[in-house]
A and B are shown apart, each in its own frame.
Chain A
Amino acid sequence: MSWTSGLIYAVGALGLLLFVAGSGGVLTYVFRKLFADFGQRLGPNRVGPFGVLQFLADGVKLVAKEDVIPARAERWGFRLAPYLTFVPAVLAFSPLPFGEGLILTDVRVGLLLIFALAALTPLGELVAGWASNNSYSLIGALRAGAMDVAYEVPLLLSALAVMILAGSSSTREIVEAQRGLWFFLPQLLGLFVFLLTLIGKVGVLPFDLPEAESELVAGYVTEYSGMRFAFFFLTMFANVFFIAALAVTLYFGGWLGPFGLDLPPALSFIWFFLKAGLLIFLVFWAWNSLPRVRIDQFLNLNWKLLFPLSLANLGLTAILVATGVL
């Protein structure tokens, strides 16, 4: 790797970091406004016009807070855990095509890279829960671990069906393959599994079991405050954006416009963000209206319903592709 390309990557990585942090911050604002609307309240409306700068104020507040580490915590793990969750969450964005040509790392195994990185997030949660030396944190972390094993399998299986359909695991080629027919139509079953498992992955209601606040106070983040808490919080909202972006890439034609209404490459990201925004709204909607399921119900759902469904979907897709129907 030459010196210049290294610099380009460094700038790109920095830009990605800022982009993820910024979009996470903006999403916290959007979420709070929507949450307020659903609950017939006003939401943030003091900092900046319509309170849009609230997330910056919150960020400053969190950074300025005292850094508290519990006396009996495992100090190394406690400090490491926020980065263990945040860094993979940011990196997982890099193989995503936001627009035509707007992709940081265009590799042939892009989708595999994404899932490999995304699978690291629960590791940070486990470390956080263990290191906090708090019963709530530990239970939250164990839930996160159990859930990870449960949703990861149907998630990968349904993504695998898309790969078969596109004949590639490069994210760019998957989007290109959807010219004409977006994959959500032949993959309705897969999409269903994919979205449910992804909501489990971000851990928002109805599947926010690792940090179910009415049971576990805040789960694995119970002992965290200040900047370290901000990392977890940001990771969660970055993840909401990430799953929407991933679903758009795999099922809703990425940067492609509907009915062939493609925008020029430089503007193609507009379609991408529009579609992602709609999906994010869907996630927030579920978050605001559904009660929480129990951990055993979540595991049953994943192992007994979604896993066989995704398997059936994979087999069906493989047969249809092999016989040339699709």
Chain B
Amino acid sequence: MSYLPTNGERADEGQLIALNMGPQHPSTHGVLRLKLLLDGEIVRQVEPVIGQLHRGFEKLAELGRYPQFIMICNRADYVSTFAYEAAYVRAVEELLGLEPPPRAQFIRTICLELDRIQSHLLWLGTFGLDLGALNAFWYGFRERELLLGLFQELTGARLHHNYFRFGGVKLDLPQGFTERVQSACNELERKVDEYEEFLATSDTFLMRTKGVGVLTKGMAVDWGVTGPNARASGLDFDLRRDEPYFAYPGLSFAVPVRTEGDCYARFAVRLEEIRQSVRMVRQLLRELPEGPIIAQGWEKRAAHLLAKPEGEHYTRIEGPRGEIGIYLVGDGTPSPYRVKLRSPCFQHLAVMAELFRGQLLADLVAINGSFDLVMGCVDR
């Protein structure tokens, strides 16, 4: 059988086709490699092969000092860089017993919510692209650009901000920043309606997403699925509401929950989350207190000398993709003894491999897109 298409691997089981999907593939969103055995178009076996983006962050953390890891860990999830930063900073602060001033809490929360919006927008674009809606991609990126510009103004960087500090944030808001965020919010609110009209009223889109890749609530809990993906399966849980941190305790917002658990539910939940995030940012801007942006004594480079926490602790925050956890062990020296990054995407990948089985190849792409994987977050 010299004509049997082989793609690095041989299919020995009768008529099955072996297919290496990725690591270089338009819709594996980075370097996910799926070893598939296909029966025609139907996926019979899936084995995800990951690690191509493994950069050994947990080891790197042990080699540097505490503040140095802020810069490294925001590279873990390169789409929503504020989220990991916030999780790590919060973990260290809780071990130190350090309480940032209210203004810093508010600025952090604004950053996190804008970050969630831009992450969801990127997801929206790529999900559209996965389903063949070419232009969703450009629209998603256009609005994301708006927010990246704001981030650059605030932190000096578009993606890797290195902005949060133990006890506060690096810089105060620039002049006129709140007005520009306000107008961006107005713009976004209009655009989200437009996306909903563009995608959710398209029969083709509904045909491709409704009832596809159903994740039940029981499965979601058992496999450790969190965040919007779990909320689309009916798990009414959001760390921002149920274990509030930073400025979340005073915010009023709704947590969108759907029970279908299919690709459309994941789409709808994320779209609604963008709206809720816009609402939160508005409220935060309204109630933004005056005052210092960093705790007394922690300005400038003090953290390099002062950050010597002792003890261990698991801290988690609600990232755009789900529960981002940091298990931090400090031994009283200036370097962390052990930092474990609990990645939501890592857990999602495990359950996705389960959902892919028995689906059509085209549905595999839709499910993969709907879970919003970021390979940097999976591999760390």
Q: Which residue of A lies closest to B132 (CB)?
A: A292
Interface residues of B in 31-50 (CB under 8 A from A): 38, 40-41
Q: Please determine whether B134 and A294 come into contact, CB atoms closer than 8 angstroms.
A: no
Q: Please determine whether A291 and B131 come into contact, CB atoms closer than 8 angstroms.
A: yes
Tell me if A155 counts as interface (CB < 8 A to partner B).
Answer: no
Which A residues lie at the B interface, using CB under 8 A? 35, 38-41, 72, 74, 130, 132-139, 142-143, 205-206, 208, 212-217, 287-297
Q: Please determine whether B3 and A206 come into contact, CB atoms closer than 8 angstroms.
A: no
Residues of chain B within 8 A of A214, CB atoms compared = 26-27, 129-132, 365, 369
**Can you report 8 residue pairs joining A to B where beta carbons are below 8 Å apart?**
A39-B134, A139-B41, A214-B129, A289-B135, A290-B202, A291-B204, A294-B208, A297-B207
Residues of chain A within 8 A of B364, CB atoms compared = 215
With beta carbons under 8 angstroms apart, the residue of A133, A135, A212, A293 that contacts B207 is A293
Alpha-carbon separation in the docked complex, A297 to B363 (Å): 12
Residues of chain B within 8 A of A139, CB atoms compared = 17, 19, 38, 41, 361
Alpha-carbon separation in the docked complex, A186 to B365 (Å): 42
Alpha-carbon separation in the docked complex, A214 to B361 (Å): 10
Q: Which of B25, B130, B133, B204 gathers the greatest number of chain A CB atoms within 10 Å?
A: B204
Q: With A138-B5, A214-B131 in contact, is A295–B362 under 8 Å at CB?
A: yes
Beyond A40-B139, A215-B27, A294-B360, list 10 extra A-B contacts (CB 8 Å).
A35-B134, A74-B3, A135-B20, A136-B19, A217-B26, A288-B135, A289-B198, A291-B131, A291-B204, A295-B41
Alpha-carbon separation in the docked complex, A136 to B24 (Å): 13
Tell me if B7 counts as interface (CB < 8 A to partner A).
Answer: yes
What is the interface residue range for chain B against chain A?
35 or more
Residues of chain B within 8 A of A40, CB atoms compared = 138-139, 142
Interface flags, B337-379, vs A, CB<8A=1, else 0: 0000000000000000000000011111100010000000000
Interface flags, B201-216, vs A, CB<8A=1, else 0: 0101101100000000
With beta carbons under 8 angstroms apart, the residue of B5, B19, B199 that contacts A133 is B5
Tell me if B114 counts as interface (CB < 8 A to partner A).
Answer: no
Whole-angstrom distance between the Cβ of A129 and the nearest chain B Cβ: 9
Residues of chain A within 8 A of B26, CB atoms compared = 213-214, 217
| Nearest 3 CB-CB pairings of A with B | A292-B132, A39-B138, A214-B27
Q: Which of A41, A136, A205, A296 gathers the greatest number of chain B CB atoms within 10 Å?
A: A136
Whole-angstrom distance between the Cβ of B45 and the nearest chain A Cβ: 14
Alpha-carbon separation in the docked complex, A206 to B40 (Å): 21
Q: With A135-B5, A214-B27 in contact, is A208–B362 under 8 Å at CB?
A: no
Q: Please determine whether A135 and B17 come into contact, CB atoms closer than 8 angstroms.
A: yes
Q: Please determine whether A292 and B204 come into contact, CB atoms closer than 8 angstroms.
A: yes
Q: Please determine whether B365 and A215 come into contact, CB atoms closer than 8 angstroms.
A: yes
Alpha-carbon separation in the docked complex, A213 to B202 (Å): 20
Tell me if B319 counts as interface (CB < 8 A to partner A).
Answer: no
Residues of chain B within 8 A of A72, CB atoms compared = 2, 6
Whole-angstrom distance between the Cβ of B15 and the nearest chain A Cβ: 12
Q: Which residue of A lies closest to B126 (CB)?
A: A214
Whole-angstrom distance between the Cβ of B108 and the nearest chain A Cβ: 33
Whole-angstrom distance between the Cβ of B203 and the nearest chain A Cβ: 9
Q: Please determine whether B362 and A134 come into contact, CB atoms closer than 8 angstroms.
A: no
Tell me if B280 counts as interface (CB < 8 A to partner A).
Answer: no
Q: Please determine whether A293 and B208 come into contact, CB atoms closer than 8 angstroms.
A: yes
Q: Please determine whether B19 and A206 come into contact, CB atoms closer than 8 angstroms.
A: no
Alpha-carbon separation in the docked complex, A325 to B2 (Å): 61
Q: Please determine whether A41 and B132 come into contact, CB atoms closer than 8 angstroms.
A: no
Residues of chain B within 8 A of A134, CB atoms compared = 5, 7
Q: With A139-B361, A206-B204, A215-B362 in contact, is A292–B131 under 8 Å at CB?
A: yes
Tell me if B128 counts as interface (CB < 8 A to partner A).
Answer: yes
Alpha-carbon separation in the docked complex, A262 to B134 (Å): 40
Interface residues of B in 272-299 (CB under 8 A from A): none
Whole-angstrom distance between the Cβ of A188 and the nearest chain B Cβ: 20
Q: Which residue of A lies closest to B28 (CB)?
A: A214
Alpha-carbon separation in the docked complex, A288 to B27 (Å): 18
Q: Please determine whether A293 and B204 come into contact, CB atoms closer than 8 angstroms.
A: yes
Q: Please determine whether B128 and A291 come into contact, CB atoms closer than 8 angstroms.
A: yes
Q: Which residue of A lies closest to B204 (CB)?
A: A291
Whole-angstrom distance between the Cβ of B23 and the nearest chain A Cβ: 13
Q: With A72-B6, A288-B134 in contact, is A138–B17 under 8 Å at CB?
A: yes
